[in-house]
Structure 1
């Protein structure tokens, strides 16, 4: 895959001196020289390897264009679609992320960490003011500099609202806030991840001593239950701050104004200083089962999927229903499928369409596709090809492969939309290309 990307970059007539500097779950990052008519500039080119979710890519682009007006951000210059890649061009602002810097130079001094915190607060304020969250604050996504630090990796930036996007846990789970286990994510999630990042900056270690190689269930358990490791390594004022920022309950964490005040006065609430901290660092044999017993939605949903896979549909239905009552769209969609198929409950297209509709309203592309099928085939409702087309388009733009194939057929035959063979080929080719692609990014 990387050789293919280099080949694509080498074919760009204005690029040379191509050097790979980073690899993430969504993109590969290169430093290049870009030739203009009268000059040559260093650029960072971020190559998005998976382009099937056009909606997310467009949302990220719109956010980056908006952020260009502020000096705290690396300037976003252009985006090109080349074959099955998107190329994002940024002004070069350094190539060492915080992880690489600490590995080479050692942990940061309190003074440098304070500058890092100031930079991050300024950046997050701009983003939170437009009701977005970064969603992936971590040492890998911070370009560290002596004068200023930049927050990069905006692919997971999403609006602040409970939705399918917040239910889908992606990226580096070592910096995942506990509330994401319930499909929730807001500004306090960024603050939690920033607190974990500050611990790393000061110690060179993860706050719970997690490794990338740890399995997902153990990482999620640590965020829900573990205490900060080797707390006495931290200077006293930083110790209190990081305890405050990484509280398990988001409502107990500071907001950006309180963090800005800490930069000036280094004060925390009395209850933080008086906390009696217990050391918790153990892992159970099966973390997801215990997290499900504690009523976290994601583990309950995964447990239901396991029951369904093994044929225990009664237990699967009950657990899906438990999650659906609490508004978990992934469970609503799966519950809809059970009602549609009539197993293990009595078949009801009315209930199926209701479940799909509720999940679709939360942005769930799987539910949009399933609801589209009912409209296209007239299952439990009159045939409505125009509505089916809209739902397939919604799901297709968000990367649903079956919806992309269905959309291609509607364009091909002029069903629900004017015939357009060019668009039919586009969607069919996209779905076919990704049907055998294993590099789709981590997603739980």
Structure 2
């Protein structure tokens, strides 16, 4: 009995999966009787389907069944497509085929761009699942087996079909947060200048002269620089700004806190110098205050010099985060950074203790009370700063430090100088020597 294959044109490239499947099905249907004796073919060496079909086309007999002779050159098989007949099953395997090509099957459709194939366990290679590419990887064609990883400076779009360049993140003047902090710093820096002008205009009044007028002027100027220091933290970080921002912050704030400490010590010295037989009268004056300021500043200056000599801050780039590249200042030696902050904390704590002990001195205008409030605000701000600074990264870490600089500076300014400005501008009748030296009463009492 003779069988005829229904496909007259057997020439077929491997890329046309549908027709190849039809070809295989047609061959298997028409030679079912021939291949019924699978053992015969298996014992002959498990010949490939190409060899079997070629023999059939030549009219060779297999179990006394003959097919019509066909031209073997009419079959053009894909070089990597091997089909095996054995043990009553047909295995279709693809090895090293571009884009992991497999014949089209009813249990798998081509994966869309942005997805990759994952073979199902214990199922033929033509059955697979499509899963999205991982973060940072793309597939820009259908039917991909693996996703391509984006370069370090790039990230995937939402569809994961193309790599887009990561954006740079730092606290800039174009960012709303950076603009608001910069404007706050500039406006706040004008307040000490206004207060200084008020003090200079009323420089001979008792309230201004009380507790060392020159140190008050110096403290107002220092507070202006402390507030302006915040502007150095805004903008693209580079090695120069990274070095200058932390050292400027440490030095100006050490001068500021040292001035507050000098004013606190002056309060105590001035009160005890009024006692009969006291030898402290020679210490009353601006020379002692500026000597204290210089000594406290010199120690902080030495810390900064050692820091810059051992491991100075530098500009650092972090490309490991998704979607963005962080440009930030690396502190170099984090130990020296916290040494600088710790020294400021020591100065503030000493000022707080002395001012707290001197808060009840019998003066009508005892500045120690206001210094106590200012140091409580200062210490509270910087104690809150440390955990917030450690737990944030990038522009928000810088914003936390800028906020701490602004809030602590404004706290010192308001707590120390607001009561004096209140008397000078609103209650000038109290700006007298008699009010200053009288026993303590409530300042804002009519």
TM-score, normalized by the shorter chain, greater than 0.5: no
TM-score (norm 2): 0.20
Rg larger in 1 or in 2?
Answer: 2
TM-score for the superposition, normalised by structure 1: 0.20
